[in-house]
Amino acid sequence: MKAFKKALQGLRQQVRDSRAPAGVSVSAAPQAEPEPDFRQLFRDVKPMKPDGRHASPRPKPSPHPRRRHQHGQASEAVQQALLQHMVGWFEPAEVDAHFARPGMPSATLKKLRAGFWPVTRQLDLHGCDRYQAQDALALFLHQARRHGPCVRVIHGKGFGSNGQPVLKRMVRAWLKHHPDVLAFCEAGETMGGAGALLVLLRREHAP
């Protein structure tokens, strides 16, 4: 039995040798070469001597973009005139005599005209241009809510504006888009008529 196993192993070895390509000897895998030593590779390199100079750090760039000065840039007066002209593009064509925010009761305007809510504060915009009037109106509405829901805003009838009631249109447009304005209507003749508005404001919640 042992002789048979030895003969079988010999046959297997002969088969392996016959399968190997000609001229190629079967040997163990080559071993990897050791990595070169770092100091040996750079043994001829000489370190530089310090020169004693101080390397100042570079300033950090500004987070604000640079403004390019173009030749022939319009002056501030010209820019202001262009801005005023452009604002006119967005002015309403019609003058609203009254306004009530959607969802308000149907009797809101009737009660407002009848003086159901007493006027607690008033703002007179005579002598203001549209920019001054917008700032004054925003501040007034913010402060007036603390004193009561109804205020009076006097914008004038526009007789001094070359027949164009600028503030009359603009004030009513601003009030329609203000989040705290619930309704407005023209005041009675004794309180300014078409040159003044009674404005109903949203109540300020107590802290």
Sign for the CA dihedral angle at 108, 113, 118, 124 comes to: positive
Q: Which range among 8-17, 21-30, 184-193 shows the weakest confidence by mean pLDDT?
A: 21-30
Beta strands in 47-117 (DSSP E): 98-100
Please give the mean pLDDT across all residues of the chain.
78
Is residue 20 very low, low, confident or very high in pLDDT (cuts 50, 70, 90)? low
- In degrees, rounded to 5, the angle at the alpha carbon of residue 91 between the alpha carbons of residues 88 and 92 is 150
pLDDT for 88: 47
The 10s digit of each residue's pLDDT in 37-46 is 877 777 888 8
Which residue has better confidence, 46 or 33?
46
Digit-coded pLDDT (tens) for 147-179: 889 999 999 887 655 555 678 888 999 999 999
- H helix count then E strand count, the chain: 6, 5
pLDDT score, position 199: 97
Interval 91-138: pLDDT, tens: 555 678 899 999 999 999 999 999 999 999 999 999 898 889 999 999
Q: What percent of the chain has pLDDT over 90?
A: 34
pLDDT band for position 8 (50/70/90)? low
Matching residue, tokens 């913010």: 142
Higher pLDDT, 121 or 53: 121
In a 3-state reduction of DSSP, which class is residue 130? helix
Which pLDDT belongs to residue 38?
A: 75
